[in-house]
């Protein structure tokens, strides 16, 4: 271990953030809650008025468990952290014998996810208040990453990993650490990563960190058949995720469908803002805790991402998030395998019965969770079973072309293609210019914060159109244009329904923090003083170039002011027959100008080839533009809504 790096980690103390100061102030104002604790009122304790430091969390959990009559409790240290701190854990049940089956729950593998711990402790308080402890023995680890949690209270509020330093003398402690949720085994699900500074750095080997090794050692000491459930609590996003995270294959029948059903029923209990799917469909997770529990112990493990739109949250969310997790835990407890009989048979039979019980639910939601047809008559879409010890590589696996497409992460080219289709659809619907730009801006912002696979892109695009329509268009206009009916018809080309659009709409708004209004290139252009002096032809040219910024994601890498200056230059100063010193322009203008020239040539070529995706650009701008930039097309006069409702001539 590098002593210089340790020194940097020890000396780096950025100022605490506002929520840390507020949490400490709240904690001081609500001190003295422990003596009044009693069964039936744990969840009403003033403890849950604030976020608490690690020692207060452990003291409160211990105090609760000692106040439940007849409860057999063991408070123990499951291990030591990298910096030598204790990792308290708690096992409890209503009867010491016979030996019960274990449900294991842990939280805060990632240090900045404070709501994960508060939700877990609150759900535990509700469980103890209701004395819902029969059948199972429970084990709770409220804070796995104790070192990282302490660091978030000392200034590194957004720190994610544990506190392992690496050999970089000038490194900030913000970059230190190993992602504990990438550090579990078995070796077939683990994938090494050379970049130590990445937030998902998995360490040098499975269980290389004392935190994960301690959990693994403790679980290995138990009979594998005794572990019948596991929950790993995170934040934020509103997801209930089932295995696998390290490969695209789902668990073998009947467990794949049964686990998806268990996740579906659990998320329904937690509330309408939660969604469920396999972990890999959100993003790949190699060396994750959920896969570890399922592969080594056969436990129906779920990863729960609590609802929210930031790692920092007000203390007012503590109880609502805790209630959601409580409902999920109780549903999971009721539907997981029973605690008697042979464990392997018990798990298989219980999960099979669960699948039968919720066949209609699973059947209706199948498109949203895995939107591919896996029926026997359409075998090209069935994910392949690869006989190898290595994790499944989506790009290298022998998938049929159509199946491989479904699980490919959206690229810039995919985005550009769908934006062109989105632009065509919104314009052909007769929607306003602001609505078009808002819809594409929503799509870009969502893709920036939430990587998705190609199977989701169409329904996400439709949801963005619908959000923009409801925000900008009047109800009368939407009804007269039959916007909803036309958008609903799009599902015939994709494996989704209007219900999925509404669910995805909620997810988009949540991930964007419900910030619908956002400066677009169009809104910035409309505030330019130069716009008032432009002629109608120049305005038509300018709006054409503003729309071109939607078609290519490259424009997002330039400063908006530079892009707008390039637009003004192209519409008011540029003369193609005159020589001008292109190299003499500032680089900040040369680069967006080059993108405009290339995009314009591409559009012209696409129109000459009869490409429908770009025909709406001609219908909307072509006739009104200057001869310099006028779009021409070889097609006959058009009768689309753009031409019939607002002809530009």
Distance, in Å, from the CA atom of 61 to the CA atom of 619, rounded to the nearest integer, reads 66
Residues 156 and 199 sit within 8 Å (Cβ to Cβ): no
Distance, in Å, from the CA atom of 495 to the CA atom of 103, rounded to the nearest integer, reads 36
Q: Are strands 86-93 and 227-235 parallel, antiparallel or unpaired?
A: unpaired
Measured CA distances, 221 to 177, 218, 225, 273, 354 (Å): 27, 5, 12, 38, 30
**What DSSP string describes 553-591?**
GGGGGS-HHHHHHHHHHHHHT--TTS---STTS-HHHHH
Burial bucket for residue 442 (CB in 10 Å: 0-12, 13-18, 19+): buried
Q: What is the layout of strands, in order, in the sheet containing 86-93?
A: 72-80, 86-93, 136-141, 101-107, 227-235, 301-306, 239-242, 275-278
Please, what is the angle between helix 359-369 and helix 498-511, to 10°? 60
Kindly report the CA angle at 440 between 480 and 460, in degrees rounded to 5? Answer: 85
Q: One of 137, 250, 305, 473 is an active-site residue; which one?
A: 305
Reported residue count of the chain is 649
Burial bucket for residue 26 (CB in 10 Å: 0-12, 13-18, 19+): middle
Please, what is the angle between helix 18-29 and helix 146-153, to 10°? 100
Report phi then psi at 208, rounded to 5: -70, -20
Please, what is the angle between helix 454-472 and helix 433-449, to 10°? 140
Distance, in Å, from the CA atom of 355 to the CA atom of 196, rounded to the nearest integer, reads 42
Residues 142 and 120 sit within 8 Å (Cβ to Cβ): yes
Which distant-in-sequence residues (6+ apart) come within 8 Å of 201 by Cβ? 161, 177, 178, 179, 182, 193, 195
Based on the residue annotation, tell me whether 583 is a catalytic residue of this protein. no
Query: Among 317, 320, 326, 324, which residue's Cα sits nearest to residue 271?
Result: 324
> Helix, strand, or coil here: 407?
coil
Distance, in Å, from the CA atom of 255 to the CA atom of 293, rounded to the nearest integer, reads 14
Residues 122 and 319 sit within 8 Å (Cβ to Cβ): yes
Q: What residues are paired with 229 via a beta bridge?
A: 103
Residue 482, sorted as left (phi over 0), alpha (psi -120 to 50) or beta, turns out to be left
Q: What residues are paired with 439 via a beta bridge?
A: none
Q: Biggest alpha carbon distance in the chain?
A: 93
Residues 183 and 207 sit within 8 Å (Cβ to Cβ): yes
Q: Which residue has the tokens 């750095």?
A: 201
- Number of Cβ within 10 Å of residue 557's Cβ equals 9
Tokens of residue 331, six digits: 């549903």
Measured CA distances, 375 to 160, 258, 381, 383 (Å): 41, 17, 8, 11
Q: Where in the sequence numbering do the catalytic residues fall?
A: 305
């Amino acid at each position: 271990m590098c002593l210089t790096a340790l020194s940097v980690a020890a000396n780096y103390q950025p100022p605490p953030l506002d929520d840390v100061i507020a949490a400490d102030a709240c904690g001081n104002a609500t001190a003295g809650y422990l003596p009044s604790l009693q069964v039936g009122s744990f969840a009403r304790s003033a403890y849950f008025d604030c976020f608490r430091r690690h020692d207060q969390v452990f003291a409160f959990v211990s105090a609760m468990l000692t106040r439940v009559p007849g409860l057999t409790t063991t408070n123990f240290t499951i291990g030591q952290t990298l910096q030598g701190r204790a990792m308290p854990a708690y096992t409890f049940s209503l009867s010491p014998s016979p030996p019960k089956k274990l449900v294991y729950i842990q939280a805060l593998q990632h240090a900045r996810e404070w709501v994960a711990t508060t939700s877990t402790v609150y759900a535990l308080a509700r469980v103890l208040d209701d004395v819902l402890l029969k059948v199972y023995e429970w084990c709770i680890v409220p804070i796995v990453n104790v070192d990282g949690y302490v660091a978030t209270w000392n200034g590194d509020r957004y720190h994610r990993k544990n506190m392992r330093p690496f050999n970089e003398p000038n490194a900030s402690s913000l970059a230190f650490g190993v992602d504990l949720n990438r550090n579990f085994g078995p070796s077939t699900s683990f994938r090494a990563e050379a970049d130590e500074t990445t937030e998902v750095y998995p360490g040098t080997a499975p269980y290389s960190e004392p935190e994960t090794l301690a959990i693994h050692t403790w679980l290995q000491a138990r009979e594998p058949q005794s572990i019948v459930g596991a929950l790993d609590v995170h934040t934020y996003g509103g997801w209930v995720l089932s295995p696998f995270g390290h490969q695209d294959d789902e668990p073998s029948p009947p467990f794949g469908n049964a686990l998806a059903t268990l996740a579906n029923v659990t998320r329904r209990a937690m509330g309408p803002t939660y969604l469920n799917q396999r972990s890999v469909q959100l993003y790949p997770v190699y060396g994750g805790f959920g896969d570890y529990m399922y592969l080594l112990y056969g436990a129906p493990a779920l990863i729960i991402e609590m609802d929210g739109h930031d790692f920092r949250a007000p203390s007012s969310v503590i109880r609502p998030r805790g209630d959601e997790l409580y409902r999920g835990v109780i549903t999971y407890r009721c539907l997981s395998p029973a605690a008697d009989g042979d464990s392997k048979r018990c798990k298989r039979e219980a999960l099979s019965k669960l699948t039968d019980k919720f066949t209609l639910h699973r059947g209706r939601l199948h498109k949203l969770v895995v939107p591919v047809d896996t029926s026997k008559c359409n075998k090209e879409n069935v994910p392949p079973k690869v006989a190898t010890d290595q994790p499944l590589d989506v790009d290298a696996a022998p998938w049929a072309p159509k199946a491989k497409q479904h699980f490919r992460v959206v690229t810039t080219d995919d985005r550009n293609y769908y934006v062109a289709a989105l632009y065509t659809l919104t314009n052909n619907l007769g929607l306003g210019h602001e609505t078009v730009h808002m819809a594409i801006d929503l799509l870009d912002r969502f893709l920036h914060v939430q990587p998705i696979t190609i199977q989701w892109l169409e329904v996400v695009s439709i949801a963005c159109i619908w959000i923009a329509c409801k925000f900008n268009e009047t109800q009368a206009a939407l009804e007269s244009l039959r916007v909803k009916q036309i958008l609903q018809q799009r599902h015939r080309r994709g494996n989704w329904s209007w219900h999925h659009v509404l669910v995805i709409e909620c997810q988009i708004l949540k991930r964007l923090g419900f910030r619908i209004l956002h400066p677009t290139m169009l809104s910035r252009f409309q505030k330019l003083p130069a716009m008032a002096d432009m002629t109608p032809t120049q305005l038509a040219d300018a709006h054409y170039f503003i729309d071109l910024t939607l078609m290519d994601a490259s424009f997002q890498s330039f400063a908006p002011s530079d892009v707008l200056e390039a637009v003004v230059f192209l519409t008011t100063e540029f003369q193609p027959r005159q020589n001008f010193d292109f190299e003499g322009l500032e680089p900040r203008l040369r680069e967006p100008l080059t993108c405009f020239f290339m995009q314009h040539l591409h559009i012209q070529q696409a129109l000459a080839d009869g490409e429908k995706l770009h025909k709406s650009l001609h219908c909307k701008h072509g006739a009104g533009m200057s001869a310099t930039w006028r779009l021409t097309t070889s097609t006959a006069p058009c009768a689309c809504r753009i031409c019939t409702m607002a002809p530009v001539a």
